[in-house]
Amino acid sequence: MINRVLVTAGASGIGFAIADAFDQTGCKVHICDINKAAIAEACANRRFSASVADVSDPGEVRRLAQETLAALGGIDVIINNAGIGGPRAPVESISDDDWDAVMRTNLYSMFFVVRELTPILKAQCSGVIINISTTSVRTALPNRCAYVVSKAAVEGLTHNLARELGPYNIRCNTLRPGSIENERGRQLLEQRAAREGISYEEALQERLGYISMRSRITPSEIGEAAVFLASDAARHITGQCISVCGNVEWEN
């Protein structure tokens, strides 16, 4: 069976790696992103169909659902990947607007997408939902309260959906990426090095010191994990939070 897959924020980073992994297995893939130029680049050498959409807006999600179903002829797999880092600040300094922006992008967007497409999955009595979280939920992370809380709520959403939708043969799991070796991951280390007045290499070695396997992961590993969770080999895996991280022990 050829799965029909939607990947939100699929034009770059982890989202693109996930979309690419499904594409390589022969799946039909529809991506969305708020960045039109990134979509054009992502689709240049792939068979993706695509929509420009801000999934934090329920109206745009309704349009995205219609465009996804039209492009794919249905839906089998939903990858909720859209997210932002939000403010880096102590909790008492986080503004209402910053808090709301993180919750709408990281949490509400997943609810909006699931709400629109679950009736299709229920009608066919099959489907897979994979929500992207972070290992920071497990470690906690000072001065990143909005981000961590939003992702903890994502895991609660996953857990409840797995129970609610299980009788319809719809599985729902969370993937927790760890420290990723890509442009975004390198930027985060550069910012940390600048804040602490240390070199990039020192920041990297300190980060690796809190990872049991002393190595970072690649975006393609998240893609591979998503493909597995959507496959028949994972047909009875649901309601789980699966970390792809080399065992992140701590972070600061």
* C-alpha distances in Å from residue 99, one per residue of 80, 89, 142, 247: 20, 11, 15, 29
* C-alpha distances in Å from residue 165, one per residue of 33, 65, 113, 144, 239: 27, 19, 15, 32, 10
Residue 51's H or E segment, with its range, is: strand 49-52
- The two three-digit tokens of residue 239, written as one number: 């309601």
Distance CA 165, CA 175 (A): 18
Indicate the DSSP class of residue 27. Answer: -
Catalytic residue among 108, 147, 168, 200, which? 147
* C-alpha distances in Å from residue 102, one per residue of 41, 46, 57, 135, 159: 26, 30, 13, 17, 21
* C-alpha distances in Å from residue 250, one per residue of 17, 37, 142, 240: 25, 36, 12, 21
Q: Is 147 a catalytic residue?
A: yes
Give which of 117, 52, 114, 55 is closest to 82, Cα–Cα: 55
Q: Write out the catalytic residue numbers.
A: 147
